[in-house]
Structure 1
């Protein structure tokens, strides 16, 4: 039986665009974006918040959060200790000034959230019940009722005094940040309505990107396009928009890879279980990692154990008393991924009788869980004037939820000083954004988005996922370059399909960045995240550097090695020495085998 034919959407003229204006444009209504909007509005700015879904239930925080990973609570932890811990966890490649903002402002953010109605676990004395999961220091603060965090934030946005300052446009998806042709500053954005297909342009005094991670990069082992660890709507939109606006991105070769529940592909949540006495074991029941804190080194140990005859690997909970198991269930089965309980039940498993089999996630890009994101300073400013990045999009290593709130707050505070742009938007940039959005309508019978996206992400798994090599990464670059044409030929008929097609272009951009950045860093670092088989050693002498990439005036992807600044908090394992940047230019591909002469057998 054939389905009902769908009429192809009519392409609107750029001249018929819905035109909006604001002082501060916030793109993305998740953790960081919501806080950025609240802070900017609180400082007197007229804010426009664009969200391609609906702010009430969008972003990685949509189903809540089970705890805070990095709460530096006075009396229980010190900011300097936290800065040192994150410096070690990220193998020395950090801008400590950015990490310090989370260390010093995080507790204030906990108190602010508490004033909104968010509840954090406290002990019998009324003190915050922080637990230890990191190698040193107690920073993990459970949230027993964390499932309601996004609802609480949405209520704040809808308060009368906020409604007067914050305009929310749901179902509007920006695809490009617009920049001034003379000085390059951000002046707005262009996108479209994902329900009606209407073209939308925005004039803004400042733009805050808060679009989350690139979670739809690698293909999950299940093969499901949207069965990712990260929120699958986070397709790298902000990475691509920042890149095409001329902003520097950094650490893109430092992938996000996590230990997950096998087949379910959601977090097994050692962060939650570890403070209650849970831990990771091999098939013999032996603990095999020193610390369950997520880091590249831990993932290396995890991968090695999984591949050995000591695998599979499990999160052990079955030894815990009933009271503790019930407490863990009450958190894990109601927050962030509430279908966890249904998944276990479907297999006839129970934490009391079965430990949780774990596996390794697909690769992704994430500044908040790893260190791959848009380069920002300690006020969330990117290298493009008046363009900000916050949350998982921004490269502030291991920043997590509280860090996303902190940097959303910083971005909103700084951006609020600008007023709406009154000039003409750059016509060439608007036209390019229009073409990107609507070109699939010109070829409605072209390859559909799911097929093209599957092929693209299969190449990511084949050639970019670690362990990495120059040859495989070079093949990846060739494949992603070739797929630019295939992506341009995708077909669509509806506004929703246009959204998915635009996301594929973002994923392709992120895939190329990941491959080229991995080629450029000729060493191994961060454990499994950047394991180069052809450069197996860590080279602090040559590579205690940030690796920045940006789009050149000619459209090429160019790289710079930027020395890590001397630490304000000494860490004995690393000694950065400030110096000049090392311009690397375009990365050279590694030659790979081709067909030999036909006149002679090998």
Structure 2
């Protein structure tokens, strides 16, 4: 197999608008770019198959953020997010998401997505934020197929099984991307007038307690590809000190608290005492509470639904066993667990980095523009705090429309052959390596470093130890040997995980305080310090030296 692909032959696919990543945000971006100008050639480069790709993979049971007129207001949402993010946010991004959220709901309805209503005809909503009811129930087990059909109806070209490995960046602008076709072995070069990054989060970052590399809560195909490519192109990133760690069902990394707590479930310790704060304080409060309960010998921690009426339990079962992870029904059945009589043990899951469920991402403005000309971003790869699926769709639409406008002002950029050859050689050396390190072995050890030295509780000593190991891993990475194209893709992902590890370690080292519950809990700086740290930590690759730079930026007065 290796001898057949040692060339990595070049395939040129020019585009007016290139969308890198075909998840929810990517599909919406492609749809809106094509709608803005049907004459444009819109291309989606997707690592997997479009109809089941991205973080949702199948479907969802709710839109977590919808400001329904007369029910909740964008102002309440911005206020809630300022509380949840403890002041570290761009409130304009949150306001735009809320203002455009109801239009997204109505568009999904027009595409056939069902939103249940109560007996009076109103949408079924729940309060999960500090102020206002924004979570709207949704019955969409095949939402990803719905979005993929809209892409297909517009004749948008989709390059499936093609992993983007590098943005074509030059002079502070992005002119497309290079990808690896993991079926044919072709190096796919897409020069583009405008590029939209929608590659999702870094779900494969920390190591699950099971030790299984792909047994993560977040979609394991998301290895921080977009964060790494944006960083290496010179874009600004932020929020990498915020490590998302969730309390989930032990041995089954699936959503639980949001589904159950809004319907009356409780989190309790081994003594039956209630644990954690209000839903409006987000999971980060519960996480720190669970951490301290464990250290105080009041573990295990449980999700308790035994006090709920039968009707409410059936409702929870319908959601838990439906849209997102239907195998959960078989999991509980095999263990003999019945919510009516049994508590469900929780545990702290592995750390990951995400804009959709946290604060991490590429810096964008309200037009979905990054700090690089011609590059837009949306979804979990973008730093829109706690945006969930709604934010992916809202900013995906914004990115698509604006990318189409930008493309109309440009000629197709020239392709730099030196850049293409450099990328080819970077990948080929892993195919040519002999007696090298296996990709899964390298990844296991790298992600153990994340757990041991970057995951909270953090300290200066641990973080500096992480940076020492990261430098060591960078020296060893060229020795990783790929036996086939699948392993070559996994090897390319190692560069992304390693970049994310350094971004997180350096941002965590810079923020010398504790904030966001357990997400950034530094035992050497245990208190929140608004006087000195009410600001963003910005990361960027210096174009002259190639080194990572860390700076800070004040937040707007409205976020205080």
- TM normalised by structure 1 equals 0.90
Paired with 1:292 and 1:361, the residues of 2 have a C-alpha distance of 19
8 Å CA contact 1:9–1:495 kept in 2: the answer is no
Deviates more, 1:43-52 or 1:285-294: 285-294
Paired with 2:384 and 2:455, the residues of 1 have a C-alpha distance of 22
Does residue 147 in structure 1 map to residue 141 in structure 2? yes
Does residue 244 in structure 1 map to residue 232 in structure 2? yes
Give the structure 2 partner of residue 561 of structure 1. 552
Superposed, which structure 2 residues align to 1:271-310 within 5 Å?
A: 271-293=258-280, 294-310=282-298
Paired with 2:272 and 2:127, the residues of 1 have a C-alpha distance of 22
Task: Report SS of the residue matched to 1:502.
Answer: helix
8 Å CA contact 1:445–1:492 kept in 2: the answer is no
Task: Report SS of the residue matched to 1:66.
Answer: strand
Give the structure 1 partner of residue 167 of structure 2. 177
Give the structure 2 partner of residue 47 of structure 1. 42
Task: Report SS of the residue matched to 2:518.
Answer: helix
Q: 1:216, CA displacement in angstroms?
A: 0.7
Paired with 1:372 and 1:191, the residues of 2 have a C-alpha distance of 24
8 Å CA contact 2:83–2:130 kept in 1: the answer is no
C-alpha offsets along residues 476-504 of structure 1, whole Å, 9 cap, x if unaligned?
A: 01101110122211111211111111011
8 Å CA contact 1:174–1:192 kept in 2: the answer is yes
8 Å CA contact 1:235–1:507 kept in 2: the answer is yes
Q: CA RMSD in A?
A: 1.4
Paired with 1:448 and 1:214, the residues of 2 have a C-alpha distance of 21
Does residue 431 in structure 1 map to residue 421 in structure 2? yes
Paired with 1:70 and 1:310, the residues of 2 have a C-alpha distance of 34
Paired with 1:279 and 1:70, the residues of 2 have a C-alpha distance of 23
8 Å CA contact 1:258–1:361 kept in 2: the answer is yes
Paired with 2:395 and 2:413, the residues of 1 have a C-alpha distance of 29
8 Å CA contact 1:191–1:434 kept in 2: the answer is no
Give the structure 2 partner of residue 56 of structure 1. 51
Task: Report SS of the residue matched to 2:14.
Answer: strand
Paired with 1:454 and 1:405, the residues of 2 have a C-alpha distance of 33
Give the structure 2 partner of residue 193 of structure 1. 181
Q: 1:522, CA displacement in angstroms?
A: 1.3
Distance 1:8 1:111, change over 3 A: same
Give the structure 2 partner of residue 231 of structure 1. 219
Give the structure 2 partner of residue 117 of structure 1. 112
C-alpha offsets along residues 287-344 of structure 1, whole Å, 9 cap, x if unaligned?
A: 2223135343332122222333322111112222222222221211122111111111
Task: Report SS of the residue matched to 2:12.
Answer: strand
Q: 1:423, CA displacement in angstroms?
A: 3.5
Distance 1:363 1:421, change over 3 A: farther
- TM normalised by structure 2 equals 0.96
8 Å CA contact 2:193–2:413 kept in 1: the answer is no
Superposed, which structure 2 residues align to 1:65-80 within 5 Å?
A: 65-80=60-75
Give the structure 2 partner of residue 584 of structure 1. none
Q: 1:547, CA displacement in angstroms?
A: 0.6
The number of residue pairs the alignment matches comes to: 554
Task: Report SS of the residue matched to 1:416.
Answer: helix
Q: 1:140, CA displacement in angstroms?
A: 1.3
8 Å CA contact 2:22–2:53 kept in 1: the answer is yes
Give the structure 2 partner of residue 373 of structure 1. 361
Does residue 409 in structure 1 map to residue 397 in structure 2? yes
Paired with 2:413 and 2:112, the residues of 1 have a C-alpha distance of 42
Q: 1:284, CA displacement in angstroms?
A: 2.8
Q: Which residue, out of 520, 524, 528, partners 1:538?
A: 528
Paired with 2:169 and 2:58, the residues of 1 have a C-alpha distance of 35
Gapped runs of 5+ residues in structure 1?
A: 1-5, 575-602
Paired with 1:190 and 1:496, the residues of 2 have a C-alpha distance of 17
Paired with 1:208 and 1:284, the residues of 2 have a C-alpha distance of 50
Q: 1:285, CA displacement in angstroms?
A: 2.7
C-alpha offsets along residues 32-83 of structure 1, whole Å, 9 cap, x if unaligned?
A: 0010000000001321001010001001111211212112111111110100
Task: Report SS of the residue matched to 1:550.
Answer: strand
